[in-house]
Structure 1
Amino acid sequence: MMSSRRYALKASDVTLCALVCLAGVAVTALVLILFVGSEQRTVSVAFQLEVDERFSRLQRRFNTQVLKLDVVRRFFINADDVTEKEFLGFVTPLVGEDEAYSWVPRILEKDLQAFRTKALLNGTSDFSYHEINPVTGEIVPLASRPEHWILLYLLKRDDVKIIPGMDVLARPGRQALMSKARETHQIVVSEPLKMTNGQSGVFFVAPVFHESSEATLNDDGLQGFVVSTVRLASLMEQGIPLPSLQRLNVTLSLIDGEHQGPTIYQSLAPATPSTLYAQRLLKVADQNYLLQFRPSSTFLVANSHALYTSLIVVFGAGLTLLMTLLVYLLITQRTRALSLVEERTQDLRLLNITDHLTGVYNRRYFEELMERLLIEANAQYQPLSLIMFDIDHFKYINDRWGHQCGDNVLKSLCTRIRSATRKTDLLCRTGGEEFALICPGSELDDTRLLAEKLRALISTLPFDETGQVTCSFGVATWVPSESFDAFVRRADSAMYSAKSKGRDQVQLADS
């Protein structure tokens, strides 16, 4: 009897051990699957965030090059005659590392001698007419042709010596690029060309034309070209922290129509085999580029969770001895689930306070912000300003180009506004084409200057599909004890006053 009982206990122990072992293996396997899936999603999100941040930096770099070149172009359009001293004084603050800016006027054959005399009088030194043989690369005398594109002024950071007087028409790559700019009357971007320092660079060319009244019937009025060059590697890497450069493999390719062209840039960090991949379309002036992103070994190592996987396996093996570990793992998973729920709750809140089209704050949150900021301004005696603005003739844009084009204008407008304002400034969409920009701590004069800056930023840079778009702005600063409705009404009235006075302007609200 005792022997039989002792056998039964041993059998139950074995059975219990077997059940615990099976339960531990099953739970460990389940937790491992969930963990791996979750970490894969986490790594994917981290990769997308890294890609978005890098793309944003590159987009700003390329767009800044176009904007700076356009500023110099407008300088030549508005100036009757620019000396070398004036050119250097205006352009020097714009030139960064690995960049160069040059002025290439158009000179007729009959005007060469007079132009050289004038250039020397304006302070240009070492002026000598010449051109580069495209086959041998040697400097040769100037060939006779009806017109010449003469390099007159040049500002660059490297030590390569270039004598003014070189005819760019002799270089096929430069000639084709400038001819395209001349035909389209727009800023154009080159494929990678060899710079004077021997490195691969990108050329941005902006044509400068006389006013239409000055152009003759047989002359298009071309005055010359403003050219900026920047080393391609510098354009892709400058300003980006080294750790960020090492985490991603980035390739840049030209897009010819619907087809991907050759790769013109590849980062030094080699790509590591992975399912992670992203691509972005980068539009710069008349050129489209394809940016492709892949993770490097540095990124995968930094986001590797092999250690955690090993720990789960070790803890899972301990389930056969310690049932308490099962409780610990369940609590850990529960905490993680609650964290995910909290994240989703935050996402839902963000969706509730933002405009689904533009991504800026919506009308409801605008009212909440204003109520709170008015209380803070009153308690802390801090200024609070408000800019109300809307798009002029927005109905015409929708009617002519369609609502999809109108939506694109709204999104592009918000992108421009946010790129030119402080982090503390709060952009809200209060209606169809109506917006409000809350400027905490900003006095009336500063807010007016900001509104003028935004107005110029919007009206001077054409939108992709519609061309020029303008906005009317109303600016008001809160008066102590003023109600929310009265404050908004004053800014709104100023905006409509701007519309009634011709649009595309800034009006200050009455005190």
Structure 2
Amino acid sequence: MPMQAVRPKILGFISEQASAWLVALVVLLTGSALTVIVAWTAADLYQQQVRQRFQLLVNERYTRIQERFEDQEQRLGSLQRFFVNSGDVSRAEFDGFAQPLLLHARAYAWAPRIFREQRSLFEQEISRQRGVPFNIRELNAAGVLASASERDEYVPVLYSQTQSLLGSPLGFDLLAQPLRRSALERAQQSGKLAVSQPMQLVGVEPAYAAGVLLVAPVSKVAGTKPYGFVMAVISMRQLVADGLPRPSRDNLVMQIVDTSDTRQRVLYASSNAVGNSDLTAARRLTLGDHVYALSLRASEVFDKANHSSMHTILAMGVLLSVLLSALLYVLVSQRQRALKLVEQRTVQLRSREQELRGAHGQLRSVLNAATQVAIIATDLRGVVNTFNAGAEQMLGFKAEEVLGHLTLESLHMAAELEARAVTLSLALGKRIPPSQAMLVESPDSQHEAREWTLVREDGSQLTVNMLATVLLDDYGLWVGHLAIYLDVTQQKRAYEALAARDRLLKKLSIHVPGGIFQFTLEPPDNWRFIYASEGMRDIYEIELGVLQQDAGKVLERIHPLDVERVRASIRLSALQLSHWREEYRVQLPQRGLRWIRGEATPEELPGGGTLWHGYVSDISDLKRVEEELRALSITDSLTGIYNRRYFQDRLKGEMLRLNRISGALSLIMLDVDHFKRINDQHGHAVGDAVLQELCRRIGQRLRRTDVFCRLGGEEFAVLCPNTDGTQAYSLATQLWQSLRDTSMEPVGIVTASFGVASWRIDEGIDGLLLRADSAVYVAKQAGRDRVKAEPLRA
């Protein structure tokens, strides 16, 4: 049956041939529809929950306010009963009873009824009791408490217990103000509690001034007119707002209106903002003989705390639908591609199966074709079951003589196996039989090939490298061993030849003066000696191991004045691949300062960097000879002063300096007078002694910067850098005088003719020499034994 006939449908109802885009679209539409339904249901449930929360908050707020109104009535009632049952109440008794009642009320007060004829006597008696003047007062036109005008009756505040910081308005006549009078009259007529209209309270802080007056009549006998009134001064802000959440956290906006007030004035209103919700509620509150309307609305805080999650549900639902549709699109498209790939792979596997059948035979042929490598496989007992053509050629056995008859142990040298077995037993801590010695690895080995000796059919021995491994079947079970042998006889001979050559090279390097090295410079700045002969230890007094680990040790030995030049020459040689040759000084711990000459030929490394092959040698003796030869080349052999060659070189250098930075330069030339006569009369040996003494005397009086030279015969010159003509003339005079002061044995006084010339701007060497020589000539013409300056300019 073809594969397409049994394929299951996607999701149980979509055909396999359906497009992946169609599947994704169906899932997206279904998910979006479900999201809308869930969002609508959640929105309806949300509205119900919000209304329930709002009603709970309203009921709790209404209950709390109503309880406070009732609590005020009960507290004032208890104060009323206190006066009824106590008869005459003193101020201390009033304070003691009223003090605990001050909760949510600004003040409690007692005001007796006083008639016109009782006023004077009443004021005098109260003044006497209090110790301060007391009179009945009322608010005048300016809003200030003043003495009350004459009336038939007064109800002044006599006792007061208040929370206000402004104190109690004692003596204030409650009948002087219409709203208070109205409340008192209603309380007197009904004999019950009465509440005033909204008013501004007296003696209360401005923030708490808006409120009402709750009044209760006090009668000695029920049904008779009261002889006074007890009152509760109630601030609506304190009564309603105390204990409620702060406006920034209140869920309700509240407003209280007195229904009996014709102007419908607001007794209390919350300061927080009204929310966008249409949730409202109204309740009725009663206090005394008044009914108040309590209206409640949801605030912005309530709206924020109860925001709808419908938009979030819609967004998340649509996003989830998109992700699910994308996932199904990927899965369906991958499934379709996978099915096509399976069909293709099935066809390919069938063709590969045919190829593998042929490959098995080819593998056998390959094993036999490997004639340079012996491949031998054994079973778990060690009996050989594979023996390729390379093994036949290497060992001389025929495959049919070995397979099933010989073991791997029989092909190895017995003494070698026993020695190896003892070593492995000690290393592993258990006995290893000789038959397994070639198959077991030591703990420190890394599955590397090991050298063994095999016994050929003719009894001869063969050195091989052997690599052994275990053979596993398809289930990972151990079924035998595989050994691969490589004949290393020729390789071993080559290694021995190389070792002999290395020994010869080492012996030669020991007897060659200096040191032979291989040096590399690799990026970024890695200096390294990869080879250094024994001579390098003597050159730098550094051990070879240290030298190969850190090439910087050599640079530390180089003289500080030469090290940068050596570094630069090495880098230049690496850059240009030019022959490196350098002479430099080294400072050694034992032999001190030495001169070294190094030469090396560079070549570029394949991976970047440069390799030098070269040698270094100690040329300190050669340098010493060179210095001696140089000194001889610039020194007069007779007198020991500088010769004409050095004079000419030094004069050229000074002229270059003057042309570059300007300055002063003078030249003193002298010629010994009648020197030929001294040679003729006393001999050349005396003449040589005279010249030597003359040089000694003049040299003692010269400065360190002056250059004293013998130009030839009896002619001499003194080069004076940074010296003008006047200074040079003075110096020449001193030199002339030093010759005349003391005689020379056996010739007596020896004199000389001196000529002085100083350098002029833009003048060459020849001009300066000519003027100095002319001055000497003038001195000789003038009679010798004198000093003459250069001729003046025309």
Q: TM-score by structure 2 length?
A: 0.37
- CA–CA distance in 2 between the matches of 1:310 and 1:124? 75
Say whether residues 1:295 and 2:298 are aligned partners: yes
- CA–CA distance in 1 between the matches of 2:155 and 2:317? 76
Question: Structure 1 residues 99-108 or 261-270, which shifts more?
Answer: 261-270
Out of 147, 159, 165, the residue aligned to residue 159 of structure 1 is 165
CA pair 44-124 structure 1, distance change in 2 beyond 3 A: farther
* C-alpha deviation, 1:320, in angstroms: 4.8
Partner residue in 1 for 2:31: 24
Partner residue in 2 for 1:276: 279
Partner residue in 1 for 2:324: 322
Say whether residues 1:204 and 2:201 are aligned partners: no
Out of 56, 65, 77, the residue aligned to residue 70 of structure 1 is 77
Q: Which amino acid aligns with 1:74?
A: R
8 Å CA contact retained: 1:187, 1:207: yes
Say whether residues 1:147 and 2:153 are aligned partners: yes
Partner residue in 1 for 2:45: 38
8 Å CA contact retained: 1:251, 1:291: yes
- CA–CA distance in 2 between the matches of 1:33 and 1:124? 78
SS at match of 1:201: strand
- CA–CA distance in 2 between the matches of 1:147 and 1:78? 25
Partner residue in 2 for 1:171: 177
CA pair 186-23 structure 1, distance change in 2 beyond 3 A: same
SS at match of 2:56: helix
8 Å CA contact retained: 2:28, 2:324: no
- CA–CA distance in 2 between the matches of 1:73 and 1:232? 22
- CA–CA distance in 1 between the matches of 2:61 and 2:100? 26
8 Å CA contact retained: 1:192, 1:232: no
- C-alpha deviations, 1:230-257, integer Å up to 9, x for none? 2111111112233796211001112239
CA pair 268-255 structure 1, distance change in 2 beyond 3 A: same
Q: How does 1:186-265 map to 2 (within 5 A)?
A: 186-196=192-202, 197=204, 198=206, 199-212=209-222, 220-242=224-246, 246-256=250-260, 261-265=264-268
- CA–CA distance in 2 between the matches of 1:56 and 1:34? 33
Aligned length: 313
CA pair 32-260 structure 1, distance change in 2 beyond 3 A: farther
CA pair 175-46 structure 1, distance change in 2 beyond 3 A: same
CA pair 91-286 structure 1, distance change in 2 beyond 3 A: same
* C-alpha deviation, 1:141, in angstroms: 2.6
SS at match of 1:228: strand
* C-alpha deviation, 1:50, in angstroms: 1.1
Partner residue in 2 for 1:112: 119
CA pair 164-243 structure 1, distance change in 2 beyond 3 A: closer
- CA–CA distance in 1 between the matches of 2:236 and 2:156? 25
Q: Which amino acid aligns with 1:284?
A: L
8 Å CA contact retained: 1:131, 1:170: yes
8 Å CA contact retained: 2:193, 2:217: yes
8 Å CA contact retained: 2:31, 2:317: no
CA pair 66-116 structure 1, distance change in 2 beyond 3 A: same
- C-alpha deviations, 1:417-465, integer Å up to 9, x for none? xxxxxxxxxxxxxxxxxxxxxxxxxxxxxxxxxxxxxxxxxxxxxxxxx
8 Å CA contact retained: 2:54, 2:298: yes
Q: Which amino acid aligns with 1:34?
A: T
8 Å CA contact retained: 2:187, 2:217: yes
Q: Which amino acid aligns with 2:291?
A: N
Higher RCO (C-alpha 8 Å, min separation 6): 1
8 Å CA contact retained: 2:32, 2:317: no
Which entry has the higher C-alpha Rg, 1 or 2?
2
Q: Which amino acid aligns with 1:221?
A: K
Q: How does 1:486-501 map to 2 (within 5 A)?
A: none
* C-alpha deviation, 1:178, in angstroms: 1.0
Out of 102, 107, 115, the residue aligned to residue 95 of structure 1 is 102
CA pair 206-75 structure 1, distance change in 2 beyond 3 A: same
CA pair 73-125 structure 1, distance change in 2 beyond 3 A: farther
SS at match of 1:322: helix
8 Å CA contact retained: 1:127, 1:163: no
CA pair 124-209 structure 1, distance change in 2 beyond 3 A: farther
Q: Which amino acid aligns with 2:312?
A: S
8 Å CA contact retained: 1:83, 1:123: no
CA pair 113-210 structure 1, distance change in 2 beyond 3 A: same
Partner residue in 2 for 1:183: 189
Q: Which amino acid aligns with 1:276?
A: L
Partner residue in 2 for 1:129: 136
8 Å CA contact retained: 1:98, 1:158: no
8 Å CA contact retained: 1:254, 1:289: yes
- CA–CA distance in 2 between the matches of 1:139 and 1:29? 71
* C-alpha deviation, 1:313, in angstroms: 2.7
- C-alpha deviations, 1:186-235, integer Å up to 9, x for none? 101222210123421221111112204xx8xxxx4221111111211111
* C-alpha deviation, 1:9, in angstroms: 5.7
- CA–CA distance in 2 between the matches of 1:190 and 1:28? 59
Out of 36, 44, 60, the residue aligned to residue 67 of structure 2 is 60
Bigger proportion of residues as helix: 1
- CA–CA distance in 2 between the matches of 1:275 and 1:221? 51
Partner residue in 1 for 2:86: 79
8 Å CA contact retained: 2:250, 2:301: yes
Partner residue in 1 for 2:572: none
8 Å CA contact retained: 2:193, 2:216: yes
* C-alpha deviation, 1:85, in angstroms: 0.9
Q: How does 1:321-470 map to 2 (within 5 A)?
A: 321-322=323-324
- CA–CA distance in 2 between the matches of 1:166 and 1:255? 28
8 Å CA contact retained: 1:84, 1:124: no
CA pair 318-109 structure 1, distance change in 2 beyond 3 A: same
- Stretches of structure 1 that go unaligned for 5 or more consecutive residues are 1-7, 326-511
Partner residue in 1 for 2:289: 286
- Stretches of structure 2 that go unaligned for 5 or more consecutive residues are 1-14, 328-794
Partner residue in 2 for 1:13: 20
SS at match of 1:291: strand
- C-alpha deviations, 1:63-83, integer Å up to 9, x for none? 111110111111111111011
* C-alpha deviation, 1:309, in angstroms: 3.5
CA pair 203-163 structure 1, distance change in 2 beyond 3 A: closer
Q: Which amino acid aligns with 2:117?
A: K
- CA–CA distance in 2 between the matches of 1:141 and 1:194? 20
* C-alpha deviation, 1:55, in angstroms: 1.2
Partner residue in 1 for 2:312: 310
Q: Let me know the Cα RMSD of the aligned residues.
A: 3.1
- CA–CA distance in 2 between the matches of 1:194 and 1:98? 15
CA pair 138-131 structure 1, distance change in 2 beyond 3 A: same
- CA–CA distance in 2 between the matches of 1:39 and 1:162? 53
SS at match of 2:264: strand
CA pair 262-129 structure 1, distance change in 2 beyond 3 A: closer
CA pair 130-318 structure 1, distance change in 2 beyond 3 A: closer
